[in-house]
Amino acid sequence: MASNSVTVRVPAKVNLQLSVGPRESDGFHNLVSVFQAISIFDDVTITKQSPGHGISISITGEHTHGVPEDASNLAVKAAALVGSKFDFDVDVHIDVKKSIPVAGGMAGGSADAAAALVAMDSLFNLDMSREELHALGSELGSDVPFMISGGTAIGQGRGDQLTAALSRGTYHWVLALSSVGLSTPAVYSECDRMRAELEIAPPAVSDHLMQSLLAADADAVGRALVNDLQNAACSLRPALSLVLEVGRDYGALGAIVSGSGPTVAFLVADEDAGLDLAVALTASGVVGSVARAHGPVHGAKVI
């Protein structure tokens, strides 16, 4: 008997590299992003409803504040998009159990969209290829294709043209979470403002980072972390500079604002170092809350 319900688990991401080109005439920026999927997960359950009910959504879990429970939610948009692509009326309830911080630069909304696409594909036996899922995902947001595939990958263009990165080893992360999110458009605007007088080169993949990932050299990866939005995020939220400094002082191999922030990701040598850093950051009083994770992990997957 066909199932009436499917649950998909989907990870958060950190950016190991986020290089931002100049603002284009359409208002967008060309990007080079190296993503790593890490072991903080949302679970998205989609359940069939009787005809005429349309799409409803409920949000539960640790990080629910500010997540829309209406048609503007990316998971709802994903379910509707699948219906329009395959020409059927979508009558489903979506339950999102959130552990990924909201507006934290960790692609929580994109993750839920990716999970909804994979769940819809499974629930309605659509047999979409990875390429079809990615194409639909890129209509919803530039991070969505990566959240479908996971692992470690390079995104180019708007960030949605993906190639797998040759990466070895497991990387241990400590994440300093903020109780208040940062608006991605605001961070990009601040980045543009701060760079207004500068000649900005087109973004390129960091050879140093690629070689370090291939060598499974966590020390070298830590030194190679780079985010062109970091100064803008710190300008809008000056406390982030202090968080970065404290983490480095307590022995992190590398420190980076993830995406547009305000989550700060610290790369550490191993689990023990991660526990030590988490305790030190909590005791320092400069961090709201702390999470630990490892990567790379798989992308959106039926459980």
* Residue 144 sits in the same domain as residue 232: no
Is 203 within the bounds of a domain? yes
| Helix (H), strand (E) at residue 245 | helix 239-249
CB 167 within 8 A of CB 213: yes
Last residue of a domain, one of 165, 194, 214: 165
Confidence bin at 2 (pLDDT 50/70/90)? low
CATH number for the domain spanning 99: value is 3.30.230.10
Q: What's the rounded Cα separation, in Å, for the pair 8 and 80?
A: 17
The residues facing 62 across adjacent strands are none
* Residue 133 sits in the same domain as residue 191: no
pTM over 0.75: yes
Q: Catalytic site residues? A: 13, 143
Domain span including residue 276: 171-295
Structural domain tally of the chain? 2
* Residue 211 sits in the same domain as residue 263: yes
Nearest-CA neighbor of 144 among 82, 192, 93, 202? 82
* Residue 283 sits in the same domain as residue 135: no
- 101-154 pLDDT, tens digit per residue, is 887 788 899 999 999 999 999 999 999 999 999 999 999 998 999 999 999 999
* Residue 91 sits in the same domain as residue 191: no
Q: What's the rounded Cα separation, in Å, for the pair 179 and 37?
A: 22
| Helix (H), strand (E) at residue 175 | strand 171-177
Residue with the two structure tokens 């990567």: 295
* Residue 147 sits in the same domain as residue 19: yes
- 45-59 pLDDT, tens digit per residue, is 999 999 999 999 999
Is 303 within the bounds of a domain? no
Last residue of a domain, one of 165, 194, 213: 165
Q: What's the rounded Cα separation, in Å, for the pair 66 and 123?
A: 28
User: Distance of CA 33 to CAs 13, 29, 237, Å?
Assistant: 11, 12, 22
Is 206 within the bounds of a domain? yes
Confidence bin at 204 (pLDDT 50/70/90)? very high
In the DSSP assignment, the letter for residue 208 is H
Is 94 within the bounds of a domain? yes
Q: What's the rounded Cα separation, in Å, for the pair 268 and 180?
A: 25
